[in-house]
Structure 1
Amino acid sequence: MINVQPYATPTYFVWLFLALVPLIIGLLKGKRFMLYEVVLNFVILVLTFGGSKWHEGVALICYVIFETLLIWGYHTYRQKKNGTFIFCVAVFLAILPLVIVKIVPAIQMGKTSILGFLGISYLTFKVVGMIMETRDGMLKEFSFLKTLHFILFFPTISSGPIDRYRRFSRDYAKPLKKDKYLDMLQKAVFYIFLGFLYKFLLAYFFGSYLLPIISKHALVHGGISWWLVAYTYCYSMDLFFDFAGYSLFAVGISYMMGVATPINFNKPFAAPNIKEFWNRWHMSLSFWFRDYIYMRLVFFLMKKKLVKNKVTLANLGYLTLFLIMGFWHGLTWYYIVYGLYHALAIITCDAWIRFKKKHQLPSNHFTKALAIFTTFNVVCFSFLIFSGFLDTLFFK
């Protein structure tokens, strides 16, 4: 059996579009062919996690069974009680497989965990989100089929965007009118063609063609050089166009299936400050961390009156949030420094905004352009840290 990497080649899209034709025809007539969609979802998952990746497929099956039973168990408990301890245990168990997958390479010299599979992080975010919304009383009913459908929705399974269960379910609960679906189809075509431009042209140019040349010269010159500066910007462009392109594919295919999966990028390099950048970059992840980590931590500290100063409270939230994000990427110094760097950047940004407001500094087209330029360079330097190239350049 062959393996299929989602959105990796134009051929993948040809076969996928042909497979989606029955669904598109049904949606144009106001019907969802759920059985066909289930079969299609299953076939694509088998092609993605079968063959030489059978061990990932087995890990995915075990993971989904475990997490679905966990959600069901906590939902059953929540109908009767709302204890904090059991909630914490449920969240801990939900993230435990991901934690093991992240820790194993660090303690076993790069070896991967048998629990790992493509997309485990994004599935974990979905599961934890469901548990937390169950805790908040937002999810009052549980369905095994709907939960499995949400977790295993193939367009977004490998790298997001991260959807929310309630929003996802509403898309299936509401009848889709023809005019609305035609509008979704139009957007889907636009997103997919823009994704082709990003991933197969621009990301290829920056990542596959230009980056190897620049990195080679940077290593030959060693230390800080103009080649390192070039690497910084080239890698940043490759990272953006590759990831944004993939996200556009996932959103476009979701729209074709009648699901309005949230957009993941919104002109992030046009952000005038680092806080606005995170409102535009990998937005589904940013908002997930904001809603389920930052806001809950700040609320807990306020409720317990552990921190009274609002500025200190916000700064502690930023430090915790971005350190967790850094550790989530991996247990290496450059991921952790990347998280700490962004936390300090946002803390500095907040301080600057307060200073501007207090002293009523001028705001015009020039200051905005300068702010965008500064933010862009701050972000690109963070991506240099994130790339791990400095580790190769200076420590190996």
Structure 2
Amino acid sequence: MVALIPMIIGLYFGKRLKVYEAIFSIVFLFLIFDGDHWQQGVNLLIYLVYEFILTFTYQHYRTKKDSKNKTWIFYLMVILAIIPVAAVKYLTAFPIKSMPFVIGFLGISYITFKNVQVIMELRDGAIKQVDPLTYARFLLFFPTISSGPIDRYRRFKKDFDKAPSRDQYIDDLGTATRYLFQGFAYKFIIGCFFGTYLLPKISAAALATGNANGGLKLSWWVVAYMYVYSMYLFFDFAGYSLFAVSISYYMGIHTPMNFNKPFISKNIKDFWNRWHMTLSFWFRDYIYMRFTFFAMKKKLFKSRIRLSQVSYFLLFLIMGFWHGLTWYYIVYGIYHATAICINDAWLRFKRKHKDKLPSNKFTEWLAIFITFNVVCFSFLIFSGFLSQLWFGWQ
């Protein structure tokens, strides 16, 4: 907060201190990657050079007259951009003991998402020109580098290129302060209560019950674990996302929110429009929609329903693999894809029989209740606790 004061004063008087902001970010990035994490810092620098080469090579290529006819160059650049994060995910799941150095660094996934987004929008023509300094600031934006939210280059550049008006910035200061205290309440009070106090006790009770029963038997302790873990996951994750958004607002950058009351969702699609929104929207725009358009263009499926189902499974399988190469992350992805396909079938049934089905406050709350429990069970899968129960009972 002390380091933010010069930026706050500058923005209050309508000036963005870009040099100071760059120094501020570099200093705090150094603090993240110092000490035992210095190898991660070196990896970050190497990775940035690599991604810069890809992005600006492709930008230069796009200036050529025949560039639109060679889509394989675009696919090659996207594949090369995601190879580092894919390698990190693989080596995390299957480490090589003889490897003397650290692979990857904190925040590699979020930077990769940003880089792939820029390459795709260069191809679409949505981005005409990438400024190297703005691009470096975009990729290395300190508040969001480690945990998101995932911003978009065009939106970031719009904020970065000019300082907000005084009235707008005063509003930003109020919003930033509110998000900061809300983040503290979420992460260090509510999240801590669920995660540090309740979760270990319930976990131990569930494991003890399983050992006593001598088999994979779901007890009420497992049900309790499901709800407590879900609350912990939300308040912890939403808490540090609020910190990132708060510091961004102090810096005059309107980083998008990551959560919007996800536990009042009326169906699973509504949930994904409220939960980790910047990630779900990124996957929607750059995987789901692009695969759908590609499949429609190539006429891979006769039925639009079948196409959407395949697209959902592709989307959530990739999301599962992105979280990690373990069975429960993959099952988590399959579970959500299945839930969305069932939800789509139900919505089609409702449209067909809308005159025969009731629609009132009770059905609305019932939908919220069902969605909440469907989501909480998915988090139980995601937590890996079922794996602990199984292996703990063998």
Alignment pair present for 1:36 and 2:20: yes
Shift of 1:107: 2.4
Question: Would the aligned equivalents of 1:129 and 1:292 in 2 still touch at CA under 8 Å?
Answer: yes
How far does the alpha carbon of each residue in 1:100-131 deviate from its partner, in whole angstroms, 9 at most, with x for none?
00001222379997231111110100000000
**1:288, 1:212 → 2: CA distance?**
34
Offset, 1:52: 1.1
- Tell whether the 8 Å contact from 1:60 to 1:117 is kept in structure 2 after alignment: yes
| Residue of structure 1 in register with 2:56 after alignment | 72
SS of corresponding position for 1:19: coil
DSSP-derived class of the 2:2 partner: helix
**What is the rounded CA distance, in whole Å, between the counterparts of 1:78 and 1:205 in structure 2?**
53
Alignment partner, residue 335 of structure 2: 341
Shift of 1:308: 2.0
Correspondent of 2:129 among 138, 141, 145: 141
Does the residue aligned with 2:20 lie in a helix, a strand or coil? Answer: helix
Answering whether residue 51 of structure 2 is matched by residue 55 of structure 1, we say no
- Aligned match of 1:376: 372
Q: How does 1:1-396 map to 2 (within 5 A)?
A: 17-80=1-64, 81-82=67-68, 83-108=70-95, 114-222=102-210, 223-360=217-354, 361-396=357-392
Q: Note if contact 1:218-1:225 (Cα within 8 Å) is conserved in structure 2.
A: yes
CA contact (8 A) 2:163 2:252 kept: no
Displacement, 1:181?
0.6
Query: Secondary structure of the equivalent of 2:149?
Result: coil
| Greater RCO, CA 8 A, separation 6+ | 2
The answer to whether the 8 A contact 1:105-1:111 is kept is no
Whichever residue aligns with residue 7 of structure 2, its letter is L
What is the CA–CA distance in structure 1 between the aligned matches of 2:239 and 2:79, rounded to whole Å? 33
The residue number in structure 1 matching 2:213 is none
For the 8 Å contact 1:97–1:115, the answer to whether it is kept is no
Shift of 1:142: 2.3
Aligned residues: percent identity? 61
Shift of 1:313: 0.9
Which stretch of the first structure deviates more once superposed, 89-98 or 166-175? Answer: 166-175
Quickly say closer, same or farther: Cα 1:252–1:111, change in 2 above 3 A: farther
CA distance in 2, matches of 1:322, 1:106: 19
Structure 2 unmatched runs, 5+: 211-216
* Equivalent residue letter for 1:330: G
Aligned residue type for 2:294: F
Please give the alpha-carbon distance, in whole angstroms, between the structure 1 residues aligned to 2:257 and 2:98: 34
Q: Distance in 2 between matches of 1:109 and 1:152?
A: 29
- 1:48-96: CA deviations, max 9, x gaps? 0111110110111111111111111111111111321010110001000
Residue 139 of structure 1 deviates from its aligned partner by 1.2
User: Within 1, Cα distance between the matches of 2:46 and 2:80?
Assistant: 14
Structure 1: state its 5+ residue gaps: 1-16
What SS does the aligned partner of 1:390 have?
Answer: helix
Q: Give the conservation status (yes or no) of the 8 Å contact 2:55–2:115.
A: yes
How large is the Cα RMSD of the aligned pairs?
1.2
CA contact (8 A) 2:16 2:163 kept: no
Contact 1:104–1:111 at 8 Å: present in 2 too? no
